[in-house]
Structure 1
Amino acid sequence: TVEDPTKPLILKAKLDYLICSADECLPASKNIELNLPVGTPEKTQDAALIEDALKNVPKKTPEIVHVKNVEFIENDAGNKILNIKIHDPKLTKDAAIFVESPHKMFFDLPTITPLEEQGSFTIAFPVFLDELKKLAPFQSLVDEPVTITIVEKDRAYSVQAVVSAEKPSWLGFITIMILAFAGGFILNFMPCVLPVLSIKMMSLLKYSHGHEHQVRAQTLRTAGGILASFMTIALTLMTLKWMGTSIGWGMQFQQPLFLIFICFVLVLFAANLLGLFEFQVPRIFYRFMDSDKVHSEHLKDVLEGVFATLLSTPCSAPMIGTAISFALSNGSIQIFLIFFLMSLGFSVPYILIALFPRLLSFMPKPGPWMITLKRVLSLALWGTVLWLLFVLVTQVGFKTTFLIASGLAIFYALLWTRGKSPKQQWIGVLVVALFMSSSGTALTVLGLTTPETKTLNGTWLPFDLGLLQRSIKQNKLVFVDVTADWCITCKFNEGTVLARTVVQNYLSLNDVVLIRADWTSPSPTITSYLKSLNTFAIPAYIVYGPSSQTGTKLPQILTPSIVINALEKAKDTQPSSSQ
């Protein structure tokens, strides 16, 4: 609406467009301006041109035309393609076809290929990779709406569609399901979860002789807690995806409140191992249930399953990243199915014990050694608390983390002093004071003076899209490491592979640009970058070079040979051909 119709109106716009020849397209940009004077409009010398152009404005999509699907895929050479399958009996190879997307993404000239079905075609648009490219290689169109305009001869029309990720074959889908199940099983033996599994197996030993029904009940309740937790995570991710929020595996560890909650839960379990208290069912439940059938152990069994699931999320076992990336890049059914299979794989140890309780007979008989093991496992949980506190230093700073550590110490002291004599309670107060002072000193040394990560040829550079694009344009070798302080697998790879002398020497001799994307805290830029790679879990490692302009993803578990071979392939002077 014009605010003041008595004054001239000036319209300004910025026009981004492509200048195309028969062989190539070049992006261009121009600022345009139109002055509309006050009064009755008069035809200008351009009126005829405007009328002719209006005749070519796309009309309503003909009834005989329909878009089957639009996929954002990656070909064998690693180049990104917008693949459109359309049914239009009148379409010819001479048609001018345009794609408009929410992002400033340019496309090269399309390839039109007839399909077996009469009147159906595949239109493949390579993402524009000219030296004037903008953000094309780092954006994804998955779940985004696009407008497809087709102009030829005496007709022009536009049609809208939502882009989907590339759908694997049935064999590929079955492979993904197997990976999800196997990855869930392997999670049991990752350092995040192994203490919880050990605690559960130890608690079952008291039923190992003649109490098979108790063993079955306990393990099935824990498996139920795991299943319920995974399904809750899946439902949450489906809801967030439906709302348009960026999602990923382990993203809850970016939230300080979640880390604080996990710290208190860990302290609670550590105190339970040391016999400071027993899990009790809240009294309010007795109003609704038969108290004879409600036992504190039941709640503890379920909570152990929930607890194990929460601790598993910062771990990326082999195969987990592939399965999760597939699930989160597809629809709700795939998300639900993949997370169900992961929970099933994660529950295998408990299900096996439930099916074959006599397996416990192969474990040592209960004895004094269990008290020692409980103390060791308690120390493992305290070690996890300390690790999470270091993560919190990165997220909320030293002072806030110190207050959180003090709160944890007071919480543990309250549990320890329950039922103790006044003298023992005073001892507890002194222990808390000592813990607060020592933790403050430790966090000062390790938290406030965190050393910068070094390599032999310089520092890791913070993630920056502009830096990445310039390095690719200059045909440099680039290694991108997407990591987080709470990602145990990331730290394992950094310490055992990336820090190895053979890898460091190679990086130095080849002047590899090292870029580290720190996802410890929420970062929309890094999240978008991961989404463009169709990756929703970390660690993520991507190599760029003259023959890998759009990037080559590496496995989540690295070896020196994997890193070096990928970089060697990327620096090949013969660039990969695009389709």
Structure 2
Amino acid sequence: MGLILGLTASQAYAISEEDLLPVDEAYVFSTGLNAEGLHELRWQIADGYYLYRHRFDLKPADPSSFELQAFELPNGEPKTDEFFGDTEIYRQAVSGIVRGRALRDGEIEFRLRYQGCADIGICYPPVTRVVSLAMTAGLPSASGAGLPGNTAAPIGLPLANAQKPIIGGPTIKIAPLEEQLPLPAEQAFQAEAIADSADSLLVRFTPAPGYYLYRDRTRFELADNPAAKLIGPRWPPSKPHFDEHFGDVQVYFEQVEVPVALRRIGLAASKLELTVEFQGCQTDGICYPPMKRQISVSLPAAATLSAADETAPDSASIGFALALLLALGGGLILNLMPCVLPVLSLKVLGLAGSGESASKARAHALWYTAGVLVSFALVGMAALALRSAGLALGWGFQLQQPWLVATLALIMMAVGLSLSGVFQFGAGLAGVGQSLTEKKGAAGDFFTGVLAVVVATPCTAPFMGSALAYAFTAPMAVALGVFLALGLGLALPFLLIGFVPALARMLPRPGAWMDTFKQALAFPMYLTAAWLIWVLIKQRGADAGGWILIASVLLAAAAWAWNHWQIRRHAWAITLTVLGLGSAIASVAMIHQLPTLTKAASSSSDGSVAYSADLLAKLRSEGKPVFVNMTADWCVTCKANEKAVLSRDSFKQALADSGAVYMKGDWTDVDPAITAFLDQHGAVGVPLYVVFPADGAAGAKLPTVLTSELVVEALRDAKR
């Protein structure tokens, strides 16, 4: 019959699936009149079957023919249901009373809907019927008292003060609607898989017309195999949908192909046993129980092992403890990055010159740490939430937003102006965020931690890759622990200075040198602002550069006016301050509205071609080795590698000797195609370097930090 909405059974029942009754035999429907003379709809329910109370629905086919007040049903037997939660059901028999007023004489049609299940764990699709009842127009409905709660027998007991019947007689016509019976699961949902490459599978799901597949109720498992391990799927965009079983969900109504990345741990060809578990529904019909399919896939031989085996632990299997340790190390390394070091120097300088007690030093350290931890958690959770919603985002996604890049550039400019003495907010050096508050430094310390995180996250350090990849595939609570470990690593140096008196005593004594050093620190801030403006121009072009320069001048004017107001309290100065800040914000809004620059597909000055999945496939089919560089203008590690290795003559000579094509993907702005490539190779951000050999074998992923020797050797191997 194909009637297979599943509610998982956990015990033995009186009937078997082979003995499942036709729906009209399981629920024998009839109508009649109760003692009031009102129409009563009745169901005789077979043993081992039940009906849901909340799945009953009755409506007049023509609302102008009958004014329905209620379709009254008794209380049911409580049940906790897998799909509907706490609900009520009926066994043996149930009757419902039609209350209302006929608006014309004769046969009046009603659309009736109900649904039930068998105790073996199989449910019927919703049953829809057209019921014709003979009515007399103009008579009022009989309200009566409440109905009894006993469901063991049909209801319809005499009610006090019964009204004149509104029924013309017991003439009944039951007409079934045309219904599409649900297909067997194997026909409703087809699943197949092939090896897309030596390190990737392609799983294809094909729902039948009128059916849909849940994205987030699909799981992939790979039996132990000496050749490969499962990394995970990369889902294409899905459609939002609301259903009564799971609420707001992401689904696929048409055929979908899902790339599933593998990590090669052996070179030989192998037979894989892939288990796919998924669940889907019939539109406006039944939902199927979770289905499992076992699929055998022939995996070709690989030329090289996955780079993860040679350079870093497997992100899918490193374990929570090691992920925390790697995250802590990555956070520590971030303190040495050019975008973070000036911020940390300001904090240390402020602590050295404060002359405060040990308890105050600890308070500064704790507030700074709190800002770092909260910010890391929020950025990480935002990235995970946006990715789960189907958006193509990864680590460092915030600097793909032009409005945020422009805002950070202005903040860095303001910090530099303050350090240069153009204006002052308070006398202390509690941190960069002190310029936003005078609340005894706590908010300033917290904001400094926030700022450090925002500028630090794109500086991907070598130890961060595996930890972040683990976090992006782990449950939310586990991922939060990894992000907090990253934050703790970033905050650890200042935290130790605040809590270890011996380290604090190593700081230089306060003196006149501090003013000079403070002014000198303004220039790294100006350079950071210049770098952010350069990133902004790369994202939105010369117009963005013009707007941000105008905003910088307006900000400087506002800072100068604010300083003048602090000294002389002239009204025009505060007016100019407000106008300058407002105009700077308006300039940032103009930048946000500028269109994204079109990326050229032609060769660039460094001999690279723009990344394209189709072009990569074409080059590989022609037997050409390919060196893929996924980079971004805001990625400091990327630029360091390009300067130290990829711009050297040795790299160009290695490309020429191997005949390899240099392909570069620019992730400065949001690009779903590049995000898909990153996911396929187990990376959550840039840089990513993959060398594809000429023989068509799987690409080898190189370490985050490159050396000339490593790259030359990889290209030499790719030629073979």
* Fold match by TM threshold 0.5: yes
Task: From the superposition, tell whether residues 411 and 80 of structure 1 become closer, same or farther in structure 2 (CA, over 3 Å).
Answer: same
**Is the 1:73–1:80 Cα contact (8 Å) retained in structure 2?**
no
CA–CA distance in structure 2, aligned partners of residues 548 and 561 of structure 1: 23
Task: From the superposition, tell whether residues 513 and 110 of structure 1 become closer, same or farther in structure 2 (CA, over 3 Å).
Answer: same
Corresponding residue number in structure 2 for 1:360: 504
Instruction: Work out which of the residue numbers 320, 343, 364 in structure 2 matches 1:196.
Output: 343
Corresponding residue number in structure 2 for 1:177: 324
Cα deviation code 1:471-517 (max 9, x no counterpart): 21222211000011111111000001111222222112222100000
Task: From the superposition, tell whether residues 343 and 366 of structure 1 become closer, same or farther in structure 2 (CA, over 3 Å).
Answer: same
Corresponding residue number in structure 2 for 1:237: 383
1:254 partner letter: Q
Corresponding residue number in structure 1 for 2:640: 492
Question: Which entry has the higher C-alpha Rg, 1 or 2?
Answer: 2
Corresponding residue number in structure 2 for 1:218: 364
Corresponding residue number in structure 2 for 1:454: 605
Corresponding residue number in structure 2 for 1:308: 452
Asked if 1:345 corresponds to 2:482, the answer is no
CA–CA distance in structure 2, aligned partners of residues 564 and 492 of structure 1: 17
Task: Map 1:499-578; keep pairs closer than 5 Å.
Answer: 499-546=647-694, 549-572=697-720
CA–CA distance in structure 1, aligned partners of residues 438 and 515 of structure 2: 27
Task: From the superposition, tell whether residues 259 and 129 of structure 1 become closer, same or farther in structure 2 (CA, over 3 Å).
Answer: farther
Unmatched runs of 5 consecutive residues or more in structure 2? 1-189, 196-201, 203-216, 234-253, 262-268, 276-291, 307-313, 429-436, 585-596
Deviation at 1:247, TM superposition (A): 2.6
Cα deviation code 1:165-204 (max 9, x no counterpart): x8844x6443322111100111011111000000100000
Deviation at 1:571, TM superposition (A): 3.0
Specify the SS of the correspondent of 2:664. strand
Asked if 1:384 corresponds to 2:528, the answer is yes
Instruction: Work out which of the residue numbers 212, 220, 228 in structure 1 matches 2:374.
Output: 228
CA–CA distance in structure 2, aligned partners of residues 214 and 302 of structure 1: 14
Specify the SS of the correspondent of 1:395. helix
Task: From the superposition, tell whether residues 267 and 189 of structure 1 become closer, same or farther in structure 2 (CA, over 3 Å).
Answer: same
CA–CA distance in structure 2, aligned partners of residues 298 and 369 of structure 1: 26
Deviation at 1:110, TM superposition (A): 4.8
Asked if 1:398 corresponds to 2:542, the answer is yes
Deviation at 1:123, TM superposition (A): 5.9
Specify the SS of the correspondent of 1:418. helix
**Is the 2:413–2:525 Cα contact (8 Å) retained in structure 1?**
yes
Cα deviation code 1:241-285 (max 9, x no counterpart): 33222331111111111111111221222233234121699xxxx
Corresponding residue number in structure 2 for 1:249: 395
Specify the SS of the correspondent of 1:538. coil
CA–CA distance in structure 2, aligned partners of residues 362 and 82 of structure 1: 49
CA–CA distance in structure 2, aligned partners of residues 571 and 172 of structure 1: 36
Deviation at 1:78, TM superposition (A): 7.2
Corresponding residue number in structure 2 for 1:142: none
Specify the SS of the correspondent of 2:716. helix
Task: From the superposition, tell whether residues 74 and 406 of structure 1 become closer, same or farther in structure 2 (CA, over 3 Å).
Answer: farther
**Is the 2:658–2:715 Cα contact (8 Å) retained in structure 1?**
no
Corresponding residue number in structure 2 for 1:413: 557
**Is the 2:339–2:456 Cα contact (8 Å) retained in structure 1?**
yes
CA–CA distance in structure 1, aligned partners of residues 473 and 617 of structure 2: 25
Corresponding residue number in structure 2 for 1:472: 620
Deviation at 1:549, TM superposition (A): 2.4
Deviation at 1:75, TM superposition (A): 7.9
Task: From the superposition, tell whether residues 571 and 122 of structure 1 become closer, same or farther in structure 2 (CA, over 3 Å).
Answer: farther
Asked if 1:274 corresponds to 2:420, the answer is yes
Corresponding residue number in structure 2 for 1:55: none
CA–CA distance in structure 1, aligned partners of residues 631 and 223 of structure 2: 25
**Is the 1:181–1:344 Cα contact (8 Å) retained in structure 2?**
yes
CA–CA distance in structure 2, aligned partners of residues 484 and 333 of structure 1: 30
Specify the SS of the correspondent of 1:482. strand
CA–CA distance in structure 1, aligned partners of residues 493 and 232 of structure 2: 43
**Is the 2:623–2:696 Cα contact (8 Å) retained in structure 1?**
no
Specify the SS of the correspondent of 2:391. coil
**Is the 1:112–1:121 Cα contact (8 Å) retained in structure 2?**
no
**Is the 1:263–1:388 Cα contact (8 Å) retained in structure 2?**
yes
Specify the SS of the correspondent of 2:333. helix
CA–CA distance in structure 2, aligned partners of residues 557 and 252 of structure 1: 23
Instruction: Work out which of the residue numbers 344, 349, 352 in structure 2 matches 1:205.
Output: 352
Task: Map 1:45-84; keep pairs closer than 5 Å.
Answer: 70-71=220-221
Task: From the superposition, tell whether residues 264 and 124 of structure 1 become closer, same or farther in structure 2 (CA, over 3 Å).
Answer: farther
Cα deviation code 1:421-456 (max 9, x no counterpart): 89xx9xx99xx9xxx9xxxxxxxxxx9xx998534x
CA–CA distance in structure 2, aligned partners of residues 70 and 273 of structure 1: 55
Specify the SS of the correspondent of 1:103. strand
Specify the SS of the correspondent of 1:549. coil
1:341 partner letter: A
2:387 partner letter: K
CA–CA distance in structure 2, aligned partners of residues 265 and 296 of structure 1: 21
- The alignment yields a C-alpha RMSD, in angstroms, of 4.3
Deviation at 1:354, TM superposition (A): 2.3
2:220 partner letter: V
Q: May I ask how many residue pairs the two structures share in their alignment?
A: 423
Specify the SS of the correspondent of 2:446. helix
CA–CA distance in structure 1, aligned partners of residues 401 and 382 of structure 2: 15
Q: Which segment drifts farther, 69-78 or 465-474?
A: 69-78
1:206 partner letter: G
CA–CA distance in structure 2, aligned partners of residues 453 and 417 of structure 1: 46
1:546 partner letter: A
Task: From the superposition, tell whether residues 415 and 513 of structure 1 become closer, same or farther in structure 2 (CA, over 3 Å).
Answer: same
Task: From the superposition, tell whether residues 19 and 558 of structure 1 become closer, same or farther in structure 2 (CA, over 3 Å).
Answer: closer
1:339 partner letter: F
Give the TM-score of the pair, scaled to structure 2: 0.53
2:467 partner letter: A
CA–CA distance in structure 1, aligned partners of residues 460 and 491 of structure 2: 17
Deviation at 1:297, TM superposition (A): 1.4
1:103 partner letter: E
Instruction: Work out which of the residue numbers 458, 461, 469 in structure 2 matches 1:325.
Output: 469
Cα deviation code 1:300-345 (max 9, x no counterpart): 1111100100010120112112211221133213321110110111
2:709 partner letter: S
**Is the 2:223–2:272 Cα contact (8 Å) retained in structure 1?**
no
**Is the 2:324–2:482 Cα contact (8 Å) retained in structure 1?**
yes
**Is the 2:626–2:663 Cα contact (8 Å) retained in structure 1?**
yes
**Is the 1:489–1:539 Cα contact (8 Å) retained in structure 2?**
yes
Task: From the superposition, tell whether residues 548 and 349 of structure 1 become closer, same or farther in structure 2 (CA, over 3 Å).
Answer: farther
CA–CA distance in structure 1, aligned partners of residues 515 and 664 of structure 2: 44
Corresponding residue number in structure 1 for 2:515: 371
Cα deviation code 1:99-145 (max 9, x no counterpart): x982176999954599xxxxx99866356899xxxxxx9xxxxxxxx
Asked if 1:334 corresponds to 2:478, the answer is yes
Q: Which segment drifts farther, 309-318 or 242-251?
A: 242-251
Deviation at 1:17, TM superposition (A): 8.9
CA–CA distance in structure 2, aligned partners of residues 268 and 540 of structure 1: 34
Structure (1 or 2) with the greater strand fraction? 2
Higher RCO, Cα 8 Å, sep 6+: 1
CA–CA distance in structure 1, aligned partners of residues 538 and 625 of structure 2: 30
Task: From the superposition, tell whether residues 103 and 273 of structure 1 become closer, same or farther in structure 2 (CA, over 3 Å).
Answer: same
Task: From the superposition, tell whether residues 518 and 550 of structure 1 become closer, same or farther in structure 2 (CA, over 3 Å).
Answer: same
Specify the SS of the correspondent of 2:390. coil
Deviation at 1:368, TM superposition (A): 2.1
Specify the SS of the correspondent of 1:550. coil
CA–CA distance in structure 2, aligned partners of residues 72 and 111 of structure 1: 7
Percent identity between the two aligned chains: 30
CA–CA distance in structure 1, aligned partners of residues 225 and 543 of structure 2: 50
